[in-house]
Structure 1
Amino acid sequence: MRRNEQMTAALLVAALAAFGCSKTDKTSQTQTQSQHTEQATPVSMTNDTTGDKGLNTAATKVVGPVSFADAEAAYQAGNFSEATKLFEQYTGEKPGNVWGHFMLGLSAWKCGDLAKAETAFEEALRIDPDHIKSLVNLSRVLIEQRRFDDALGKLAHAGDIDPNSAEVHRLLGRTYATQGRIDESIEAYRAAIALNNKDAWSMNNLGLIFLERGRVNDALPLLARAVERGLGIQGCHQRRPRFRKGETESGARRSC
């Protein structure tokens, strides 16, 4: 890389990094859309000293049945540990509701319980093998466990269901990059951006791939577009420059 290109890239990286690492990621909406008509059952709680997102997590004492709305309210408030408990009880009471298992998977994942999250997503897929949100989020859990081939299998299935999903292509790009399959990663990120020209995470990650490979002229426009959409250079990947994972459902338990 020529010296002036290095200086330009360094200045841009510094400027973008000044935006800081955001702690929220949004890719697709939860879309739980419960079809239940039961009324919310009051849930009595006692204060605890721990919490998600800086909130006091309640040591939940459930009185009577749990409604989907009760559990979802805890999730939306950022009390993921409480949401996990409530969705566990809810799925025990309503084992046939695919969305209950899906939300249990999300809640458990955001608490860091990958095993429980995997089990919940797998149960959702047992009920509905084509439940694309469970396929996509199960792939995230598998990626975090570094089970990349398993993740690619889930993403391939999701891609068969919705070939126009930018989210699926973005996750393929992330998985390929982590495996060192850079050409395939570039192709997947480009496909994601072609499908969604506002996909800042794909722009960010593809720009960093190009920057790492010395393709400054290709990198700078992508990184600038990512910044326009509220991102600085984000990084949590294994590679250098490191990549932002940036692919979680309705706000991340953690960004790195």
Structure 2
Amino acid sequence: MATVLPGTTSGVPGEAFTIPLPVLMYHSVGDSVSADFRRWEVPPAAFAEQLGALAASGYHLTGLTDALAHPHRRQVAITFDDAFDDFISTALPALQTAGASATLYLPTAFAGRRATWLDGYSERNLPLLDWPDLAALAGEGVELGTHGHRHLELDVVPTAIARYDVTASRRAIEEKTGRSPDSFSYPFGYHCASVRHVVAAAGFDSACEIGYRLHQPVESRFAISRLVVDRTAGSEEILQMVEHGHRDALAGARRGLRSGWRAYRVARRRLGRGA
């Protein structure tokens, strides 16, 4: 696979998107998490309604790499971060009913373990899918991508640590499933130019942030923006989202605060290291 440097749109000469690509971001499909984590959980009935509305409106529902390979198609890319085990029990049946596929991003050090990176949340005890289940999903057409190895804030660690974490995550999926992952999801959505170069050099073809907007043709395949799906989004709301992206002021404010938030996290890390 050719390495594509950040700032380019495709690994194939002359190929690029012709229309904006809506990429939906999910984490958990269920109805049992704490109030603090509910932003990242969509109830099963709402998830089924969202998929049904998109399918009925003529959208092809697929994983990210497949969407990137078909730039002229009327489509929505569906992605899941963290690979919680409710993906098999709850999300997968709804995807199959809708004739949809998805990309599942795994923090590889936590396969078959608990989400212990979620300090401060009771969800740190949520179980993740194990390697046999993940390999079976890949065999059924679910795209496996990586979410880093240890779910680190890659933009504030030394480049050598980021490089190890990115390459270790790719190697783990190759060794455990026999498949080479094409796509990467930045843990917490955080990235910077050096992290994007690390991911590209590791052999990935694309990488996702959060972004809160549609992915545009001119944007890098290593900063693919995604739309956070709210647990209350019904048929009308999900159709508006894939047409226009997030249109609320809060989403714009989040984008505007990125540089300041990164500076704070860098300072916090330095202070912690000094302590």
TM-score by length of 2: 0.28
Return the structure number with greater helix share: 1
Return the structure number with greater strand share: 2
TM-score by length of 1: 0.29
Tell me: higher relative CO, structure 1 or 2? Use CA pairs within 8 A at least 6 residues apart: 2
